[in-house]
Chain A
Amino acid sequence: MTHASSLRSWGLAAAGALCVAGVLLAPQVTDTFALLALTVYLVMAMLALSLAFVWGFGGILCFGQAAFFGLGAYAYAIGAINFGPGVAALLLSVAVPAVFAALLGYFMFYGRISDVYLGVITLAVTLILFNLANSTSGSEYRIGEALLGGFNGIPSIPTLTLPGHDSPLEPEGLFRLVGLLLIAAYVGLRLLLRTRFGQVVVAVRENERRAELLGYDARLHKLLAFALGGAIAGLAGCLYANWGAFVNPGVFSLAQSAQIIIWVIVGGRGTLIGPMIGCVGIQWMVTALGGQQTVDTGLVLGVVLAAFVMLIPRGIAPTVMGWFAPRARPVATGQERVR
């Protein structure tokens, strides 16, 4: 390891420690209202992280990341109502979307479907879930004890109780849990991208045929990346259900999927940190815009999305990193697009 890169590793470790300390200490210095707002920002940042990985590194444009988020939220709600808000419900909320994503991924990637056609299928599947969830009103639609509630959704979902505790998580505890899980997911994905598996995923994004000719199974790598993205989105959905104690079919809506894509575009494809920053920034902006009546929020979001695609297509994080990166090496490496 060279001196510069070891310095970099130390820097990263220090930044990580700072984040963990921040997450643990924040509840001491903020009031409950701000804490609840911060919690949902971090939950959505985890959702942004899942698409940042699937799209930015896997090269899979998924119009239906909201489907996995919603499945996670519903799975947690149903699990928590049926067999208590423990670790089992949490695991269910990760497993259901992961398995669903794996099945859908098998269907798509082993069918050699790519590009815009992936977009159609993921969009269609999300809308199917939206329609189905909306039509489940009435007492005949129940899973165990849990009434699905159709358009009205599932209210009063019990909050997670960690093992070894008697009472459910307080807002402070939930914030810390969300923050730590987000950091863990981020660090986990960073480490995963350094492994052979992660590098093959990126290689497939860069050139699928070349990766296959080198002997890697592009279909399998895409499928696993997609399922992992589904699992992280499902975890975010579970935390979201915990945050609001409520879930309705709106989690499957087109608007929800659109938001996730905007976060990634604004933050920057091909980085993990960018979409999280984009997510928090956009959410902050939406909250601020919600306080006034003159300009419609959708109008601003739309203009932001179009402006970024036209003017800053790489997104914030890669552009800013570009300013600080050392000047391009004189030798052409053929790796301009590896970020």
Chain B
Amino acid sequence: MDLAAIFSIEVVGAIATLVLMSIGLAVVFGMMKIINLAHGEFMMLGGYVAILATNRFGVPIWLSMLVLAPLVTGLFGVLVERLLVRHLYGRMIDTMLATWGLSLALVGIATMVFGNTTVGISSPLPGFAIGRFQGSGYTLFVIAVAVAVLAGLWLLFRFTDLGLCARASMQNAAMAAALGANPGRIYTLTFGFGAALSGLGGAVLAPVSGVIPTIGASYIAKAFITVIGGGSAVITGNLAASGLFGAVSQAVTFATTPVFGEVALLVAAVLLIRLLPQGITGRFFKKSI
């Protein structure tokens, strides 16, 4: 019974980790139909901001993680959209390649600035015990942040003017423009917002793994796979794909080793794309956000 409880918390934790890893990319892909391959480096940036602000300048960890990191990464995202992504709209593959170039360049810059070593920060929450088993309190926090992010996104899309404009531009940019929305501005904001979510994810996951300039590479593949597996509906698709992949990988990790857990995730993704080429929400929950 205790084992089952710990196991379920770990599974939900794995799902929440995937959500945080991919939601920034999902927002940008779902709304703008572009794949930002520098997403992993946005997460890396968020992680560095959170850790350095706390370690060097004594900013409280919660403030640097939940406010500062998304803010800085979001502003950086706006800059990237203005300078790079804006010129490549409608050329999906080229956008992917250009942001891949950006990703390599950011890794290079981070290596020059921070050096090729892992910086870490200790997990700010104590563990807890269920019977004979010990769980990590930080896993619960990761789950809480993931739930808050998804709920916040849903409220934003569903109930605010900005969310309405964003969804309208995503469906038909020309029509939205004719009705008075400004797609250029909305795209900039959406990209910046997606970057902020990436930064938040990177910051929240930083105490788990530490941060190193090349950490983006370990995020991007899973994030990319989760987003494409989820399909075009941002929230439902992301939740469904994260749920499927997270559960599969965590169950296999429990039964064998983390390496096979990761392999199981990738195999599940390959099979999913084969069966549902448009992602989960290309077939199910089509009307969802």
Contact = CB atoms under 8 A, between A and B. Distances in A.
Interface of A: 61, 107-108, 111-113, 115-117, 119-121, 123-125, 127-128, 131-132, 134-135, 254-255, 258, 261-262, 265, 295-307, 309-310, 313
Contact of A116 (B87, B92, B100, B107): B92
B98 interface: yes
Given A125-B270, A128-B266, A120 B104 contact: no
A302 B103 contact: yes
Given A112-B277, A121-B269, A302-B101, 12 more contacts: A61-B93, A111-B277, A113-B274, A116-B96, A124-B269, A124-B270, A258-B104, A296-B111, A296-B112, A305-B104, A309-B88, A309-B94
A321 to B, nearest CB: 21
Given A117-B273, A128-B266, A261 B105 contact: no
A124 B225 contact: yes
Contacts of A313: 94
B106 A302 contact: yes
Given A116-B35, A299-B108, A304 B221 contact: no
Interface string B179-191: 0000000000000
Nearest to A264: B97
A174 to B, nearest CB: 31
Contacts of B257: 135
A263 to B, nearest CB: 12
Interface in B38-92: 84, 87-88, 92
A119 B96 contact: yes
Contact of A299 (B88, B98, B109): B109
Most buried by A among B35, B96, B100: B100
Contacts of B109: 296, 299
Given A296-B111, A305-B97, A305-B101, A124 B266 contact: yes
Instruction: Give the interface residue-count category, chain B.
Output: 35 or more
B121 interface: no
A107 B96 contact: no
B125 interface: no
B88 A310 contact: yes
Contact of B107 (A120, A295, A298): A298
Contact of A304 (B101, B224, B266, B273): B101
Nearest to A134: B259
SS class, residues of chain B in contact with chain A: helix
B108 A300 contact: yes
A128 B263 contact: yes
Contacts of B176: none
Given A115-B92, A296-B111, A303-B105, A127 B221 contact: yes
Contacts of B96: 116, 119
Interface in B214-248: 217, 221, 224-225, 228-229
A221 to B, nearest CB: 19
Contact of B102 (A108, A135, A306): A306
B262 A111 contact: no
Nearest to A123: B221
A108 B270 CA distance: 9
Nearest to B103: A302
Contact of B98 (A119, A123, A128, A305): A305
A262 to B, nearest CB: 8
Contacts of B262: 127, 131
Contacts of B267: 128
A121 B131 CA distance: 42
8 contacts: A117-B277, A123-B221, A132-B263, A135-B257, A298-B107, A302-B101, A305-B98, A310-B84
